[in-house]
A and B are shown apart, each in its own frame.
Chain A
Amino acid sequence: MKLPDLDYCAPASLEEVVALLSANADAKIISGGQSLMPVLAFRLNAPSVLVDLGRLQGLDRIEIGADHVRLGARVRWIDIERHPALRTAQPLLVAMIDHVAHTQVRNRGTVGGSLAHADPASEMPGFARLVDAVIEVFGESGPRELSAEDFFLGPLETVLEPTDVLTGVRLPAWPAGRRWGFQEVARRRGDFAMAGVAVCFDDGTDGAVHDMRAVAIGAGSTPVRLSGVEAFLEGRVLTAELAEAAGATAGQEVSPMVEDAGEADYRRALVMTLTARTLKQAAGLEQE
C-alpha cells in the first residue's frame, strides 16, 4: 500500500493541465484524492504523472444565478454543507450530499472528482442525472458541454477523454415549491449506499404530479433514471397506494451490479422500498 513511483505537477492554467495530459498518455488528474489515492496505494493504477488541480483559480466557486447554480469542479462536500444559501437554492442537492462519506473525506472530496470517478453508488452523479445537469469540460479543443444523460457509461467510466478536465457542473434552478424526497441505505453512516433513491416533482394546480423525476443509485452500472416510475406517475395525484405501485415498477428498472443473487434481490427490494418511501416523503404522506 505504498504509492508507485510517479511525478507530480500542479499547473496554474487549464491549458497547462491539458498540455500535460496530452504529453503524458498515462497521466492522471488528482483533485481531492479521496478515490484516487486508494487506487494508487493498492497499485491498481500507476500513472507516470499526477496533475494536481489545486492551483487553478476559481474552480472552487459556488455561483447561484437566476436560472442555474454552478458548482466548480473543486467544490468540496464540506463547502456544499456549509454554504449559507445552497440549502434553499438546491435543497435536494444538499440533502443528498449530506450522505457522502465522513468528515475527513468530506474535507477533501470534490464534485468534479466524484463525477469523473463515476461510482454508480455516488450521490453527486445521481443528482446530476436526476436534474439533467450540464457538465462543463475543458479539453484539447477548448471548452465544451456535456449532458449528464450522456456522461456516464458504466462503473468508473465516463465519456471524458484522457485529456479532458471537468471544470464544473450547472444545475438548473430549483423551482419554488418543488417537492422532493431522498433516502438511502448504507451499512454505516457515510458509507457508500447499497441503494438510494431520489425523487422530485412539481405540484400542479390540479393537485397532480408534474415533471416527475426519479433516480436510483447503487442499483446499476450508472445512476439509473427510473423512467417507468416517472411515466407511471406523471399527471396523477400521488397517493400511498400509487407510491407503493411505483415502488414495484422501480424494481423492474434496476439491475444491481453484485455477483451474489441474494444480494441483488435485496438491493432491488431496497430500490422498491425506497422509491415508495421517498415518494411519500415528497408528497407529505404518512409513512406507514
Chain B
Amino acid sequence: MTIVKPVSGPVVGQPIERLEDLRLLRGEGRYVDDIHLEGMLHGAVLRSPMAHGRILSVDATEARAMPGVHAVITAADLPGHDHPDGVPTIPIRLFPNPGMDPFRQPVLAAERVRYVGEPVAFVVADSPELAEDALDLIALDIEPLPAAVTSENRGEGQPALYEGQPSNRVWGYNAKLGDVEAAFNGAPYTRRERFYVHRHTGITMETRGVLSQWDPVAGTMTSWGAAKVPFQNRKMLAQLLGLDLEKVQMIEGDAGGSFGVRGEFFPEDFLVPFCARMLNRPVKWIEDRREHLLAISHARDVHCDIEIACERDGTIRGMRVRADVNIGAYIRTSTTITPRNVSMFVPGPYRIPNFASDVAMVVSNKSPTGTYRGPGRFESDFFRERLFDLVAGDLGIDRVEFRRHNLLRSDELPHPLPSTAPDPHDSELDSGDYGHMLDLCLAKFGWDEKKRLSGKRIDGRYHGIAVGCFIEGGAAGPAENVRMVLEDDGKVSVYTGSSAVGQGVKTILTQIAADAMELPMERLQLFHGSTTYVKEGFGSFHSRSTVMAGNAALIAASELRSQILAAASELMQAPVEQLRYEAGTVCSEAGATMELTALAGRGIAYEATFRNSKHTYTNGAHAVHIAVDAETGKIEIVDYVGIEDVGRKINPLTLHGQAVGSIVQGLGGALLEHFVYDGEGQMLSGTLADYLVPLATDFPNIRSQAVELHPSPFHPLGAKGAGEGGTIPVGGMLGNALADALADFGVQPRDLPLSPARVWHMVQQGRASAGRAGEG
C-alpha cells in the first residue's frame, strides 16, 4: 500500500501514517515500567504451585524479617478476612448476575487455591529481585485436592471446585430463534458433530504492570498502567479501597498490546494500590513472562456438540448447539462473553431460521478466562464452517454454492440474532451484501484456478483450499465521551475515554476530528484513556472505539463550531446567522474574517456523549490455500485472502494493519498456540519456547482487502467496528483446507490446534482405516 502524505481537504479515508509510530520507533514510548517515582518499592506475587488444594497455612514470618522487605500480605491481612463475606473479590464487569457471586475470585486465595498461578501472597521490597527472593521464604502449606481439568460433558465426573455446588457447571446461556424442534422433525437430512477449540490467548509484548501512589494529604490514589477499560477499573478500585470515585485516578501510558486480555481488573490491580496506601510509598509491580502465561486471562477452550437439519437441496432448516466452555477457576470481569457469544453467533451471516443453543460455563482448575480477540466467535466459526463442509460433502453440493445458498441476502437485513437468556442483549445484523463479499473473495483468491489443486499432491505436498464467510460484532455501548477544547493558540485538544492499546486510536480520532473541524491534523492534539480527561469513558473492546469515540467527536465538533460562531458573533458584532465557519476561520457575509486565535480565553469547550445500543456488523469472507507435508505434518500457508466490508474506512493503512495482524493471530491460534495442561492441572506451556506465538517469518503470504459498500445505518460516521474480524474465521478455514488437502486419507479435523504431530496422527489413522477397507 502506498502511503500518501497528509493532503489538504478531508483526511478521513486517507492512508495516513500512524501518529503514534515516530515516537514509539524512536524509543520515546512511556510504558508503565518506564515510570520511576521517588521512594518507589517493588512487589512480587506468590502464586499457587498447585491446581487445587486447601490452604492450611501461609507463614510469612521469615520473609517479613528479611532485610529489604517492607511488607508481606496474605488473605489474613486483608479487610473482610474475618467476615462471612470474606476478602475482597474481583467484580464482574460484563453481564454480572448475583448468581455468579460465589464464583468471583478473591484478590488473594484465602481457603482454597483453584489454579496454578493463583495469587496467595504479595511481597513488597526494595527491589524486584529482593521481592522475588522473599517469595522463597514464605512457607506455604496446601493440602492437595484432586484437580478438575476438563469441561467435557459439563465437567461431570470431575472433582467439585465449589462446596455446596451440585456440579462444576456453574452458569450458562441459552438462545433461541424460531422452532428448532419442528425444524428437525422429519428433516430429510441431519448431521451431528463434536468439535473442540483448545485453550490459548492473546500474548501482549508488554506484560501487565501497575504502579500506584497514595497521597495521604489529599486522600487520593493514582494508578499507572491502565489499559483497555480504565474507567471501569477505577470504579472497581474505588469500591474495593472504600474511596470516593473522584479520589481515584487511572493513568494510561503507552500499552504494548491488549487483544482484549490486558487491561481488565486482575488481583494485582488491587494488591498494588492497597500496599501503596498501607505503606504510604509508591509500589510498582511488573508481571514477568512466566507469570503472564498463567495470570493473564486465558481464552477459547470450548467443546461443542452441534447438529444441523437441511433439505436435500442444502437449505438449512435448523441448528442445535450444546457447548461447554471451560472458563477456568473463577468468573472474572469478562468471563461471560465467550459463552454468551457462542450461544448467539454460531449462525454467523447465514439464514438459520430455527436455532437453539445451550451453553454451559464449566469451572475447572485452570487459569480463569476472559475475552480475547473474537471471543466465542473464533470458536463458533470453527464449529459452523467445519460442519458446513461436511454437510456439503454429504449432500453432494459444491461448498461455495452451499454457502451462497444459505447466506442472508441484503433484502433480509436487518436480521435479528438469536436472543440470549439470562440477561438478554438483543442485536440484529445491520447491513451488507454477504453474497457479494463471498464473490469478491473468490475472485481475489482465484478460486476457480486454485480449485484444480484441491487434494493434489505436488512435489511431495498435498494442497488444499477453503473458503468461508463471517461477521464481526462491533461498537458496544452504552456510550463514549469526547471533550473538545479550543486552546488559546488556535489548536483543538481532543480528550477521549477510549483507550489506546496499539490499535491506532490516536490517528483515527485525530482524522475524524480534523475533518469535523475542517482543520489540518497538526492543529489537533489527542489525549486518551486516563480518567482525568473526561467525566466518563468506556474504553476499548468489542471493536468499538472508532465508532463510539468517532461519533462522539462528530457531536463535540459540531457543538464546538456553534460556540465558536456565537463567540465570534459577539466580537465581530455580527449576527450569528451572517457568520460561516470555514476551515478554522470565521467569515462574515460582509467579508470580514476572524482566526480562532482571536477567540482565546473564551472557554470554548464541549464534552459530548455518543450513546448507542446497536452493534455494527463488519462482514466478509476468507479463503486459504495450504500445502501439507503428510510425513511431517507441517502446514504451509501458500496464500490467504481476507475481504471485509467495514462500512467506511477511516484509515485504510491502520485498518490493513489490524486485518493482517488479526489473521496472523488467528493462524497462531489454529496452528501454534496452545496452553497444555496435564492431569494434575499443571500448565506445561509455561514459557514462550513452549507456548508458540507466530514469528515474523511464519505467515508471510497474507492478503487483505477492505471495502466500504454498506455503511452502518445506525450512526452518522457509517464505520463498522473492525479489528477482530481477521481472527474470527481462521480456525474454520484451516480445518477445512486441511480436510480438503488430505481427502485421500479421509482426514476430518474436529479439534484445534492443527499441530504437526496431530496432523501426522490423523494421516496415520486415515492410512490405517484405508488399509482395513482395502483388506475387507
Contact = CB atoms under 8 A, between A and B. Distances in A.
A63 to B, nearest CB: 33
Contacts of B689: 191-192
Interface string B281-296: 0000000111100000
Interface string A172-215: 00000000000001011111101000000000000000000000
A142 interface: no
B78 interface: no
B128 interface: yes
Task: Indicate the member of B128, B288, B631, B695 with the most A CB atoms within 10 Å.
Answer: B631
A26 interface: no
A232 interface: no
Interface stretch (A76-84, A216-224, A261-269): A261-269
Contacts of A161: none
A188 B672 contact: yes
B757 interface: yes
A2 B291 CA distance: 12
Contacts of A190: 695, 697
Contact of A188 (B289, B291, B692, B761): B692
A2 B756 contact: no
Given A4-B133, A266-B761, A194 B695 contact: no
A270 interface: yes
Interface string B317-334: 000000000000000000
Contacts of B687: 38
Contacts, number: 58
Interface string B627-638: 000011110000
A1 B131 CA distance: 11
Nearest to B136: A43
A19 interface: no
Given A262-B761, A263-B757, A3 B672 contact: no
Given A273-B631, A287-B460, A288-B460, A189 B698 contact: yes
Given A187-B672, A190-B695, A266-B757, A1 B631 contact: no
B129 A187 contact: no
Nearest to B631: A273
Given A42-B290, A262-B761, A185 B672 contact: no
A288 B129 CA distance: 56
Contact of B695 (A102, A263, A266, A273): A102
A287 B290 CA distance: 42
Contact of A2 (B129, B460, B672, B695): B129
Contacts of B459: 287
A162 to B, nearest CB: 24
A3 B129 contact: yes
Interface string B684-700: 00010100101101100
Interface string B673-690: 000000000000001010
B674 to A, nearest CB: 11
Contacts of A187: 672, 692, 755-756
A189 B700 CA distance: 13
B698 A188 contact: yes
A27 B460 CA distance: 51
Interface residues of B, number: 27
B672 A5 contact: no
A266 B697 contact: no
Contacts of B152: none
A20 to B, nearest CB: 23
Contacts of B288: 1-2
Contacts of B128: 2
B132 interface: yes
Contacts of A191: 689, 692
Interface string B337-353: 00000000000000000
B760 A2 contact: no
Contacts of B756: 185, 187, 194, 266
A1 B289 contact: yes
Contacts of A185: 632, 634, 756
Nearest to A258: B757
Task: Indicate the member of A185, A187, A270, A273 with the most B CB atoms within 10 Å.
Answer: A187
16 contacts: A1-B132, A2-B129, A2-B132, A43-B132, A102-B695, A188-B698, A189-B695, A189-B698, A262-B757, A262-B761, A266-B633, A266-B756, A269-B760, A270-B632, A287-B459, A288-B460
Given A266-B760, A287-B459, 8 more contacts: A1-B132, A43-B132, A102-B695, A187-B692, A191-B689, A262-B757, A266-B633, A266-B761
3 nearest CB pairs, A to B: A1-B288, A266-B757, A273-B631
Interface of B: 128-129, 132-133, 288-291, 459-460, 631-634, 672, 687, 689, 692, 694-695, 697-698, 755-757, 760-761
